[in-house]
Amino acid sequence: MSNLPAYTHTVSFKDTKSPNPDWTYGQGVDTTEEGRKWLEGLQGGFKTIDTSVEEPRKLKGLMMSGIIPRPVAFVSSVSEDGVENLAPYSFFNMVSYEPAMICFSAAFKEGAVPKDTARNIKATKNFTVNIISEAWIEQAHSTCVDAPPDVSEWALSGLTREKSTFVKAPRVLESAFSMECELYQAIDIPHPVTGKTNCTHILGLVKYIHVRKDILNKRGVVDPGRLKPVARIGGISYSKTSEGYQSPREKWEQTGESIQKALSNISKL
Ligand SMILES: Cc1cc2nc3c(=O)[nH]c(=O)nc-3n(C[C@H](O)[C@H](O)[C@H](O)COP(=O)(O)O)c2cc1C
């Protein structure tokens, strides 16, 4: 770590054209210089992993480094006895907006012990998910230390509890995008071969969203350049979002004719 260059804070967000804006329907990857370079990698062949025989530890490393970038849910929950808990979870995503729903998965700890977050949510049926921004990643990251139960993750992180509107679990005041969630379903997932349960998948109904006004753009949606979210990219690495590119979604009504023309040209070759 100590010989790594210093962090460059994201000062602005750059939106560019897509990597190959001149691409047309049916055109293969080998039609650009970048595409040809990418395809050279095929010469090395593929390594195919049978997940039913691969060691779980190796699968963990491979999947966590290959399924990237992952957004991070910073989950605040409360136990049945009222003990508050805070932890990051990157097996996380949006499920639906109608109803507003998110999901994340908590692997069991060694000895097949569920993590506090999953146990709390099953018991008290509510939690908050807070999106982490670059400016306070250290504070958020600190909460995954394996501290003894009597040590408060809120206190060690230096983050601020904010009372939620609907749920018992507080939200993180420093988060510019927080969701108050009610447990919809907690699914313990047994391994189809070993029968061993090693993870709980949590589905949460989003009851309220708190979004800081200064990160919204004129259209009322979040500007990634202002939110500065963090993402997980395997191992101990995070990545940031400082550049994006635009690819509008096309409609068959407008482009169908040109797609069919391109396809008929290909079939003539
Ligand atoms: C960025 C980040 C993402 C993580 N994502 C997950 C995850 O998706 N699932 C999981 O089981 N553990 C994940 N962890 C590990 C948990 O945060 C860690 O085990 C934590 O101590 C669990 O706390 P809890 O027992 O209080 O819930 C992640 C850790 C970090 C730093």
Ligand 1 in contact with 114 (CB < 6 A)? no
DSSP state letter for 142? G
* DSSP output for 209-261: EEE-GGGB-TTSSB-HHHH-BEEE-STT-EEE--EEE--PPP-HHHHHHHHHH
Q: What is the mean pLDDT of residues 79-91?
A: 96
Residue 114 neighbours by CB under 8 Å, 6+ apart: 106, 108, 122, 200
Q: What is the mean pLDDT of residues 179-208?
A: 96
The rounded distance, in Å, linking the Cα atoms of 205 and 166 is 12
pLDDT category of residue 12 using cuts at 50, 70 and 90: confident
The whole-number pLDDT of residue 22 equals: 92
Q: Which of 133, 132, 131 is CA-nearest to residue 13?
A: 133
List the single range of 64-78, 103-117, 154-168, 245-259 with lowest mean pLDDT. Answer: 245-259
Ligand 1 probe mutation, 83, 85, 86, 90, most atoms within 8 A of CB? 90
CB 187, CB 199: distance < 8 Å: no
Closest ligand 1 atom to Cα of 118: 27
Q: Whose CA is nearest to atom 23 of ligand 1?
A: 87
Ligand 1 probe mutation, 67, 115, 116, 128, most atoms within 8 A of CB? 115
| Per-residue pLDDT tens over the stretch 57-84 | 999 999 999 999 999 999 999 999 999 9
Q: Tell the CATH topology of 53-268.
A: Pnp Oxidase; Chain A (2.30.110)
pTM of the model: 0.95
The whole-number pLDDT of residue 18 equals: 95
The whole-number pLDDT of residue 255 equals: 87
Q: Write out the H or E segment, with its range, that includes residue 63.
A: helix 56-66
Ligand 1 in contact with 119 (CB < 6 A)? no
Closest ligand 1 atom to Cα of 86: 26
Ligand 1 in contact with 122 (CB < 6 A)? no
The whole-number pLDDT of residue 196 equals: 93
The rounded distance, in Å, linking the Cα atoms of 225 and 243 is 8
Burial of residue 226 (CB within 10 Å: 0-12, 13-18, 19+) is middle
Structural tokens at position 96: 């639906």
| Per-residue pLDDT tens over the stretch 120-156 | 999 999 999 999 999 999 999 999 998 887 788 999 9
The whole-number pLDDT of residue 11 equals: 82
| Side-chain-side CA neighbours of residue 204 (13 Å) | 32
Neighbours of 234 (CB within 10 A): 19
Q: What is the mean pLDDT of residues 48-56?
A: 95
The domain limits of the chain are 53-268
Which SS3 state, helix, strand or coil, does residue 150 take? coil
Task: Name the percent of the chain lying above pLDDT 90.
Answer: 82
Q: What is the mean pLDDT of residues 7-21?
A: 90
The arrangement of strands across the sheet holding 238-240 comes to 70-71, 230-232, 238-240
| Per-residue pLDDT tens over the stretch 101-114 | 999 999 999 888 99
Q: What is the mean pLDDT of residues 230-252?
A: 92
Distance 105 CA to ligand 1 centre (A): 9
The rounded distance, in Å, linking the Cα atoms of 177 and 131 is 6
Q: Which of 223, 85, 233, 77 is CA-nearest to residue 151?
A: 85
Residue linked to tokens 């963090």: 230
